[in-house]
Structure 1
Amino acid sequence: MDTGLQHLHSYMSYLVLAGVLISVIVALAGWFGNKPFTDKDRKLGLLGLIPAHLQWVLGIILYFVSPLGIASATEGFMKNSISRLYVLEHPLMMIIAVVLITIGYSRAKRMVGTGNGFKSIAIFYGIALILILSRLPWHAWPGN
């Protein structure tokens, strides 16, 4: 079960990155194009929100069942960069990223009809994307 979840979590990261990136690009285009934020644009924001939340749920489950998760939090794990990444840095940054995505979407959905919805998604999703990219375990990226 652990291996299947780990593979699902790894490959789903492509979907998360694509969804968040598309949401950021659409939001930037709308923001700088001075367009009104419509219900269609709000739904495009879901491309980043839904996969990020699904990935987060998978990650939380994996954190507790995988030997790379909480089980690795033994004495001295902070001295090992790989253990520190899996036990502390990756989960913490991903939680912060999902919170930012959620805040950005929640703010934007109340701004339908104005241009500020684009701004909210662009800023919050953009910061979340940077955090996600900064703490992905690139050495274990699918395909490497």
Structure 2
Amino acid sequence: MREKKKKRGDKNPVRLTLEGYDKIVQERERILKERLPNIRAEIQEAKGFEKEALEREKDFLLHRVLSLGQLINNCKIIEPTPIDLSKVSTCELHAELVKREAIKEIVLSPEQSLSMTQWEESCRFEPLLTVQGPARILINED
């Protein structure tokens, strides 16, 4: 049995969130309304190598507009699926949180211990508990 030949427009759609689609549309519009008119004006005034470089940049931008147009015409808007964090391991969650800017990590080796305290309204610290290593403690300063 012969396979059906794909036509030019028969492509698998590119899946984009609405946010991603909007960014592509904005980039295309910015190129068409701002960058290309500016470059065309600069080309008229330029000479020599500068003019050649501007012509190459114009060609690149025209190709980019074409590519973005094809992407816009061949996309499928999808809704982002929420991540079920209950299925992510604690180790993976910890590894991701450590990367964040407002997170500090304290790592205790097996022979180390750390005394935790709490602030009382009477402006004094009271022991809360002692943590014996090995342990990795995250402090969220967010």
Scaled by the length of structure 1, the TM-score of the pair is: 0.33
Task: Determine which structure has the larger helix proportion and give its number.
Answer: 1
The structure number with the bigger radius of gyration is 2
Scaled by the length of structure 2, the TM-score of the pair is: 0.33
